[in-house]
Amino acid sequence: MKKTLVLGGVKSGKSRLAEQLADLSELDVVYIATATANDDEMQQRISEHQQRRPDHWQTIEAPIHLAAILQQTCQQDRCVLVDCLTLWLTNLLMAEDKEQLEREIDALIAIIPELSGHLILVSNETNMGIMPMGELSRQYCDQIGVLHQRIAAIFDRVIFTVAGLPHVLKGKL
């Protein structure tokens, strides 16, 4: 069982790296997409990701209930790739039920040790610049920073991607 967290900035190559790692697993791959297409630009980004994925990969959309989907999907003979945690967190922050955020994050952290097979999570590292001015942006940065720390602590491997180059922070490439 291998659990990998792939971090990086926007267009850093993190999704491509995660896709390569999933392919190298030589297991059946299930791709869990968390994005929602709220505008044309986001629809274009989603389309680029869809076109890059092999046709034989199964795709499941999970904009909110990620832990439940992982519990149903992860199996010993599969590689599950989630792209990405930052969009999932954004969906939760924008949801009307404000308590859902904490419930879903806690559910994700609780289920991870129980999952079998390979699991690859992709997420944007957004906390390397200046502190945002808006309250929602600061809340997002706080939440994603803590989420990354919690996941990194329980994962086998953490990779930070810059300019398409992987930098292993924990484990081996």
Tell me how far apart the alpha carbons of residues 5 and 170 are, in angstroms, rounded to a whole number.
9
Taking Cα atoms as reference points, which of 117, 91, 120 lies closest to residue 104? 91
Strand-pairing partners, residue 45, are: none
Q: Which of 49, 56, 65, 118 is catalytic?
A: 49
User: CA angle, 42 as apex, 40 and 43 as ends, to 5°?
Assistant: 60
Tell me how far apart the alpha carbons of residues 151 and 121 are, in angstroms, rounded to a whole number.
9
Tell me how far apart the alpha carbons of residues 103 and 123 are, in angstroms, rounded to a whole number.
19
Q: Is the link from the previous residue into 84 a cis peptide, with omega within 30 of 0?
A: yes
Active-site annotation holds for 148: no
Active-site positions read 49
